[in-house]
Structure formats: C-alpha cells, structure tokens
Amino acid sequence: MFSEVKFPVPWGHVAAKAWGPPEGHPVLCLHGWLDNANTFDRLIPLLPRDCQYVAMDFSGHGLSSHRPAGSPYHFLDYVSDVRRVAAALRWRRFTLMGHSMGGSVAGMDTEAWLKSKRLAIDRLLSLEAKQQAPKARSPEAALQRLLEANRHLTAEGGAILLQRGATETPTGLVYNRDMRVRTQSREYLTVEQCVKLLQKIKDRVLIILAQDGLLIPHKLESRNQFVKSLREAFEHTLKEDIQLVEVPGSHFVHLNEPEVVSGIISNFLTAQNTRARL
C-alpha cells in the first residue's frame, strides 16, 4: 500500500508516493524523463520492507505543478526539486534511487564540480525561507550601496542605473531586481570551449577591453587564472576578423566615459560591407 503526498513549493507543489514505515531507512526514488513516480510501482513492492520509499514526480511531470510560464526547465532544477523534497521530509542522509534521467540527477548531487551549483540552491532556499520584504533606502543610501557593490561605477553612472533600477515607494527607493538573480550559479566553460564558440561566429567581431577592467592579466588574483588564460587565448588564437581593442577605463567605461569607446564602435558599425556583431 502507498500514500499520496504533496510538498509545497513556491510555484505549487511536488507530488509523490510513499511506501513503507516512516521510521525505515529513507529512499528517494527519481523517475526518468517524461515519466512519473509510477515507474517504480512494480519494483518497490519487491524491495526490502523495512525502508521508507518516496517516489517523487519532478516538476512538470506526473501530478506535480508546472513551473511558471516563461521559466525553462534546466537540468539543475531537478536537483533543486530533490533538495526541496528532502528538506520537507527532514531527511539529512538518505539513499537515492534513480531511473534514466533520475539516475543522472542523483549522480549530479554527488559530483565535486557541482559545489557551486549546490551553493546556489542553498542560497535560493535560504532566501525563500527568510521571505524578507525589499529594503527601502533613501536616494543617497541607495546610490551609496550601489557604488559600494560596483567599484567601477562613478556616482553619475550609478545614478543613471538607479533611474531604471529602483522604484520610489512611500518609505524610500526599492531596487527593482529580483533577489533570486543573486542565487544563480554559473555554467563554466573551458578556455578552449570559449575560443571555439567565438571562432564559429561567421562575421566580424569587435571586442573592447578596458585597461582597468576584468580581463587584465597583471592585476588578476590566482583564483582568476581562467580569465588570464582566456585573455591570452583571445590574443593568440582568434581569427583575423575578430578585432581586439584595449582602451583606458574601468569595467563600466561605456557608462562612465562613453566617449572613450564611442568612436571605436562607430567606426566598426559604419565600416562598409559588414554586419556588425557587438
């Protein structure tokens, strides 16, 4: 015999089926792509009865809620589903049993290279748990906070960003950004992959690097060796129709001192017989 279970999530619920005693060893069962929890219906009755089995429907599958309109289904989101269900069950240590895609999801959460992705999920769950209202600040404080977080910004540039990046409320300015954006994890590519992708662009390319920006080898810390290697690869291996130009200024040179780059970009855009790709 099994029981139906629903776990609340911000966009609805994750549905699941549970077998076995609550005090039994926990086993979380993950189905394959386009399948659902019923994929384990015939297997679980044949397994040890002193375990508690919970077979979940991934978001968008079975009886689970669909993600909000406009939200794609990233593979990492299924790992997030697993974490949410485990948290709701208050399981700290448990067995993962997966079929096909479910096996891949189970394997992802144990790979060392996914540390950054697990951290992103932790941050997202922590942010949702706090449910803090956006903080309101005076115009001066809002600008100061923005400048503190972006050392390349000038006060004038920061004020321009705030015009579109904050909303005035009765208690002060509130940043418009969705706080969930801060929890995102980055999909890292190797230097070779980055160069190959750029080389596949079948048109002329203009890359402008700021001397005090983010791709300056002599200013990079050891943890940014990737960026240093990428810069060197750009200079040594890119084909001739990719133009690399270095200009004085910071990461926000286009905003702080637009005249420094406007001429370069204008020339690129007006060059004859080109389809510009910036």
* 220/2: higher pLDDT: 2
Distance CA 248, CA 150 (A): 18
Under a CB-based contact definition with an 8 Å cutoff, are residues 60 and 66 in contact? yes
Number of domains in the chain: 1
Q: Which long-range contacts (C-beta less than 8 Å, at least 24 apart) are formed by 190-196?
A: 191/226, 191/229, 191/230, 191/233, 192/233, 194/230, 194/233, 195/230, 195/233, 195/234, 195/237, 195/238
Name residue 74's beta-bridge partners.
Answer: none
Strands 95-98 and 51-56: unpaired
Distance CA 130, CA 115 (A): 23
Tell me whether residue 3 is one of the annotated catalytic residues: no
- Of the residues 3, 59, 100, 229, which is catalytic? 100
Amino acid identity of 204?
Answer: R
Query: Taking the CB of residue 17, how many other CB atoms lie within 10 A of it?
Result: 22
The pTM score is 0.65
Distance CA 93, CA 107 (A): 15
Domain of 161, in residue numbers: 3-179+187-277
Q: What is the CATH number of the domain that holds 154?
A: 3.40.50.1820
Distance CA 138, CA 203 (A): 47
Strands 12-19 and 51-56: antiparallel
* 188/34: higher pLDDT: 34
User: Average pLDDT for residues 42-59, to the nearest whole number?
Assistant: 92
pLDDT in tens, 143-181: 999 999 888 889 999 999 889 999 999 999 999 887 776
pLDDT in tens, 106-120: 866 644 445 666 777
Residue 113 pLDDT: 46
